[in-house]
Chain A
Amino acid sequence: MLSKVAAMRDAYGDALLELGAENKDVVVIGADTTGSLKSGVFASKFPERFFNVGIAEQNLVSIAAGMALAGKIPYAGTYAIFVPGKSVDQIRNNIAYPNLNVKIVCSHGGISVGPDGASHQQVEDIAIMRAIPKMNVIVPADAVSTKAIAKAIAAIPGPFYVRLTRSSTPVIYDGGFRYEHGKANVLKEGGDVGIVACGIMVSEALKAAEALRTKGVAASVLDLHTIKPIDSDAIVKLARSCGRVVTVEEHNVMGGMGSAVAEVLGERYPVPIRRVGVMDTFGESGEAADLLRKYGLTAANVEQAALGLRGQ
């Protein structure tokens, strides 16, 4: 586990090619980042179903809504900083309010975007999107699950937001991944501390669990890829068996996955919680690994939070 790396964006491109062949209603809409997002590969096979609207993210979202109204299944996306960043009104009023079948898939979530700096590092998207009624929010952990998720959501009616990462990331699901809507994946079971992670932090959570094991602490790790609808039962079960929970996400600790977990536990099974994430600040330029270290988003930070919860 974790020795291989692969890019979520390549996996997304593969998924689009298969979807295009399987379903003639699938269309792809991009906004001048289709090469980067790998959605452009769809154009090579299905040029008549591929639309590039240029640098116009609001138009991108609303055109997708119009195509969904006419029976299409649009996959629309660009960098997360622009969608949802620049187009929240369109997502809310054009897509979510009428509950349209639009799949928004965006790359470059979080600070691991790297040298482009804070202007391109979206650390608020989970909070924004999960506050919108009817919206489904997914943050895949690796390339394998990205492909499975991108394909699976074509068959689930309604609006989705899927957040991908710019850089190549460790493969977690080398043995395959089956997406079950709204169901989290238990990756490791241990009774001393529960770690809930999403996106590229899942691999850090697994590393932290390994480090904790060497210190005699047994950790559970939950891949909470689907943040909305949230798998409350899996979270409560984790809290019940571990008694303390650490959440870790590449997102502002305000309003993101950790907040969602805290909401569930606060109401259903209160236990001590530590949230690891971006501490309500903007990022900066730098290489991804350096930024993740500087902003406290590594296995060591997760381990430290877990030990802290145990009073160690």
Chain B
Amino acid sequence: METAQEVVRLKETARNTRKLILEALAEAGSGHPGGSLSAVELLVTLYFRVMRHDPKNPKWPDRDRFFLSKGHAAPLLYSVLAQAGYFPAEELMTLRKIGSRLQGHPSMGVPGVEAPAGSEGIGLSLAVGTSLAAKLDGKAYRTYVLMGDGEQQEGQVWEAAMSASKFRLDNLTAIIDRNGIQQDGLTEQVMPLEPLAAKWRAFNWNVIEVDGYDLAQLIDGFDLAIGTRNRPTVIIAHTVKGKGISFMEWSPHYHGTPPAKDKLRDVLSELG
């Protein structure tokens, strides 16, 4: 498919993903819109353009693996998985409700979810584990992991970063949703991360910086990572917390506050 055509298709999927996220969160009455909305294009590009996976066969041994390390973006992951066909989209309305498979943070038992998440800073190590196993088994599948930027404050991220370069895991791509905001405020005020790209370079990673909403840049970035040999790649995607909803953008408050159910129609109208 031509890239221009593909971008149009991905943009439409991204718009629908935002709608599903907001509907599910409004129905749930709790959850994390900000960091779900910021990373929509990252996951849409992965699941609908980059990754080899089969929603009809979620355990296909040769599938590419995706780990959501920033587990609070569960509504994003569920919305993308539902659109890909892993489970019916209606199930999104059971998010966070008792008896639902769709736990507040991802858990096993949901088709397409590879591992539980929720405790920050541990997803990259899981990805190191599957990447090592792939090499050991001579398999070509790749592992992707999406981290938050606030999560970079966790020490284990850097333990995992060291090990990924030691083991030359060129089958591993990490993505950082660099939206600049964490629960208590700006990352650069709570615990500064900059120079973030230089940190990853110093850990011997291939570092690619992209605009997280420029789909052509994202596609190029993932392709560059696939072509890189002998070292892992991190894509630092510059994003906006709450992207797409004017009053949620750049707001720490909407890190963990869902849209009100009775305002949902107005909120969704912003998506056009």
Contact = CB atoms under 8 A, between A and B. Distances in A.
Interface of A: 27, 48-49, 51, 53-54, 56, 58-59, 61-72, 74, 89-90, 93-94, 97-99
B129 A93 contact: no
Nearest to B108: A98
B115 A59 contact: no
A63 B162 contact: no
A59 B132 contact: no
B6 interface: no
Given A93-B116, A97-B107, A67 B159 contact: no
Interface residues of B, number: 29
A59 B158 CA distance: 9
Grouping DSSP codes into helix (H, G, I), strand (E, B) and loop, the B interface class, with mixed when no group exceeds half, is helix
B122 interface: yes
Contacts of A72: 133, 136
Interface string B226-246: 000000000000000000000
Contacts, number: 102
Contacts of B40: none
B160 to A, nearest CB: 5
Interface in B13-44: none
B209 interface: no
A56 B162 CA distance: 10
27 contacts: A58-B155, A59-B156, A59-B160, A62-B126, A62-B128, A62-B156, A63-B125, A63-B163, A65-B125, A66-B130, A66-B131, A67-B130, A69-B126, A69-B130, A70-B129, A70-B134, A70-B137, A71-B137, A89-B119, A90-B125, A93-B118, A94-B122, A94-B125, A94-B126, A97-B108, A98-B115, A98-B116
Contacts of B137: 70-71
Interface string B145-171: 000000000011001101100010000
Grouping DSSP codes into helix (H, G, I), strand (E, B) and loop, the A interface class, with mixed when no group exceeds half, is helix
A12 B268 CA distance: 60
Given A51-B132, A59-B160, A62-B160, 7 more contacts: A27-B133, A48-B136, A56-B156, A63-B126, A63-B160, A90-B122, A90-B156
B114 interface: yes
Given A49-B136, A58-B125, A58-B159, A97 B116 contact: yes
Contact of A66 (B61, B118, B125, B162): B125
A98 to B, nearest CB: 5
Contacts of B131: 66
B218 interface: no
B135 to A, nearest CB: 9
A66 B65 CA distance: 11
Contact of B115 (A49, A71, A94): A94
Nearest to A70: B133
B162 A58 contact: no
Highest count of chain B CB atoms <10 Å: which of A48, A74, A97: A97
B136 A54 contact: no
A97 B130 CA distance: 18
Nearest to A68: B129
Contacts of A59: 125, 128, 156, 159-160, 163
